[in-house]
Amino acid sequence: MADLDALARALSEQSTLITDPDVAESYSRDQANLVRPGRPIAVLLAGSTADVSAALKWAHAEGVPVVPRGAGTGLAGGAAALDHSLVVSTTRMTCIHEISTEDQFAVVDAGVITRDVDRAAAAVGLMYAPDPSSVDICTIGGNLATNAGGLRCVKYGVTRDAVLELEVVLADGRVITTGHRTVKGVTGYDMTGLFVGSEGTLGIITRATLRLHPRPAREPVTVVGSFPSLRSAAEAVAAVVRSGARPSLMELMDRATVRAINEWKRMGLDDDAAALLIAQGDGADADAVADSMVAAFEAAGADFVARSGDPAEAEQLLEIRRLAYPAAERLGMCLVEDVGVPRSRLPDMLDAIERAADRHGVTIMTVAHAGDGNVHPTFVFEPTGDADAPEAVWAAADDIFRTALELGGTLTGEHGVGALKQRWLGLELGPDALAVQHAIKAALDPLNILNPGRGI
């Protein structure tokens, strides 16, 4: 029996150790509803890096598995508790330590809300670019753990591209710093890149130095197009990429998604079109980028194209995109998936999703960060008696995953492997690459206490 009293004595007053099973249960799951959480022995609301370190020293000595947790917005089950585990939450660690205007970086704790980093940067004319759909509630620590992307990643990259330096607590409680605040730095291996996207299996990230960008001096120009088919919308995206234009955002929604949002929010959207594309250009060349996108949309056969420089209209359109997942949730239980393909193969991927839905008789609502080939097919269904997805859903998902790999893509663009995609991992990595990853895991976590069975 793990000695929780010893853990409590090792913690500072900044932290809270929750041992009441009913309260702990509220920290036991993330947004992946198909992953059944276990029952943790305790939940630590950590107040500092020192407390995370003390907890991992204790867990290492006791052999207790540790599940790191941010805000619980993940969609792959990576933050679902394991039986007899210690859940370590960093959401109390909310300090923004520094915003450097000269060197364009921010130093923040893992529990800072992603939107708050951008707000702090905006106050000095800068921007934190990554903006997942859950930007108003997700935390930097969770973004780092999954290498989250978001709407602006087509131009500015994903979370890994925004990270300069990390503070990480290792499995035995040691604290290390990785990376550099300098523009260049190649001393040693790229440990920063290794920890970003590792889903809490190699260490717990407690602080990060994040790259900021100058904030565009003008409002973005938004282009909206409706299309007669998903394929024609995807061909418009491919045409924009071929043109050399650099949009800051290109988001796709299918008819089922737009209808679900419209029925919920009564927004007066055109929900007869097969697909809707929302795109933006920002910066000094925003008008030229918008011109290229309008031309590409029209050439691809858009039914309707409009452009606007009105910031209120732009914000409303982006809000529509962010409503996609909650609108789907209203219709039933959801499995939100996340494949990525080369952008030139996006039309083929969207065709394959439609075929999988028809072949297996399942409902799939599709949205995409189309500008970087990241597609989110969302399966909507009534759960089985054991709260699982029907077999037809898993069969359709299998078809989609295998097609993504055949097209030169990946099983996950930003959600992570978590617990949901373990069974397909070997298809992408192969035995040798998987063995190398297991060796890295064993070197950093020889007792396999950090989020075991997740990620790899």
**Structure tokens of 119?**
């707000």
Helix axes 286-299, 230-243, angle to 10 degrees: 140
328: left (phi over 0), alpha (psi -120 to 50) or beta: alpha
Predicted pLDDT at 266: 85
CB 370 within 8 A of CB 393: no
**Structure tokens of 302?**
């858009």
**Structure tokens of 267?**
């927004």
Mean pLDDT calculated for residue range 282-293:
95
Residue 386: pLDDT above 90? no
Distance CA 292, CA 308 (A): 14
Lookup result for tokens 């930007």 = 135
**What is the b/e burial string over 183-200, where b = at least 16 CB atoms within 10 angstroms of the residue's CB?**
eeeeeeeebbebbbbbbb
Which range, of 129-133, 200-204, 249-253, 266-270, averages the lowest pLDDT? 266-270
**Cα three-residue angle 393-394-400, rounded to 5 degrees:** 90
CB 348 within 8 A of CB 417: no
Q: How far apart are the first and last CA of the chain?
A: 28
**Cα three-residue angle 298-301-303, rounded to 5 degrees:** 85
Give Cβ neighbours of residue 272 (< 8 Å, ≥ 6 apart): 255
Write out the residue limits of the CATH 3.30.70.3450 domain(s) in the chain: 217-321
Q: Work out the pLDDT band at 183, boundaries 50, 70, 90.
A: confident
Distance CA 294, CA 279 (A): 10
Task: Give the Å distances, CA to CA, from 387 to 34, 266, 329, 390, 394.
Answer: 7, 31, 15, 9, 13
CATH fold for domain 217-321 = Alpha-Beta Plaits (3.30.70)
Give Cβ neighbours of residue 305 (< 8 Å, ≥ 6 apart): 223, 224, 225, 294, 297, 298
**Structure tokens of 93?**
């660690």
Mean pLDDT calculated for residue range 130-138:
94
Mean pLDDT calculated for residue range 270-277:
90
β-strand pairing of 42-45 with 213-214? unpaired
Write out the residue limits of the CATH 3.30.465.10 domain(s) in the chain: 96-214
Predicted pLDDT at 318: 87
CB 258 within 8 A of CB 285: no
DSSP string, 351-372: HHHHHHHHHHT-EEEEEEEGGG
Closest CA to 341 of 364, 365, 362, 368: 368
Predicted pLDDT at 317: 85
Burial of 63 (C-beta count, 10 Å sphere; 0-12/13-18/19+): exposed
In this structure, whether the domain defined by 96-214 belongs to CATH 3.30.465.10 is answered with yes
Distance CA 286, CA 292 (A): 10
Residue 270: pLDDT above 80? no
β-strand pairing of 126-127 with 96-100? unpaired
Mean pLDDT calculated for residue range 36-64:
98
Mean pLDDT calculated for residue range 235-242:
95
Residue 186: pLDDT above 90? yes
Q: Which amino acid is at 349?
A: M
Distance CA 281, CA 286 (A): 4
Q: Which amino acid is at 303?
A: D
Cα 324 from chain centroid? Answer: 15
Closest CA to 307 of 277, 285, 284, 283: 277
Q: Work out the pLDDT band at 74, boundaries 50, 70, 90.
A: very high
Q: Work out the pLDDT band at 278, boundaries 50, 70, 90.
A: very high
Distance CA 337, CA 335 (A): 6
Lookup result for tokens 């995807």 = 234
Mean pLDDT calculated for residue range 97-116:
98
- Look at residue 288 and give its three-state secondary structure: helix
